[in-house]
Amino acid sequence: MVNQFKSPEEHFDYAVSLMNVGDYVAAREHLDKLQKQSPKADYVVYGIAALDCLTGHIEDALRHLDEAIRINPSLRFQARNDSDFQNLAEDPRFTELLYPDPGADALPVDEPEVEQ
């Protein structure tokens, strides 16, 4: 059977449907193809992170989730409620990715000097 996808998003939805029925091998094949076609697509990197987590590849899951969040910071909110990441729930690195220190990315702001 040859799959014809109208868009990368449609192809991604198919890969996710494979993950949802537990066909992790086929899902990874499709996600790998998608990553080659669209290496900076945040949703593809996020999907790979979820698949890594579901298949027990914790280090890879953390690395891919970090990469996805760097591309699209709003994904940290999605990951907070995504059951695919439940295997990481107790990992402090996962918590750090999803709940970063609010001042970590901020540059120090100098107070303007007031001349008297």
With a CB cutoff of 8 Å and minimum separation 6, the contacts of 42 are 68, 71, 72, 75
Q: Which CA distances in Å does 11 have to 32, 44, 79, 113?
A: 11, 10, 21, 56
Mean pLDDT of 70-81: 95
Q: Which fold has domain 8-98?
A: 1.25.40
The overall average pLDDT reported for the chain is 89
Structure tokens at 45: 């990197």
pLDDT digits (tens, 9 = 90+) for 18-61: 999 999 999 999 999 999 999 889 999 999 999 999 999 999 99
Rounded to an integer, what distance in angstroms lies between the CA atom of residue 40 and that of residue 35? 8
> How crowded is residue 29: how many other Cβ atoms within 10 Å of its Cβ?
13
Domain range annotation of the chain: 8-98
Q: pTM score, two decimals? A: 0.83
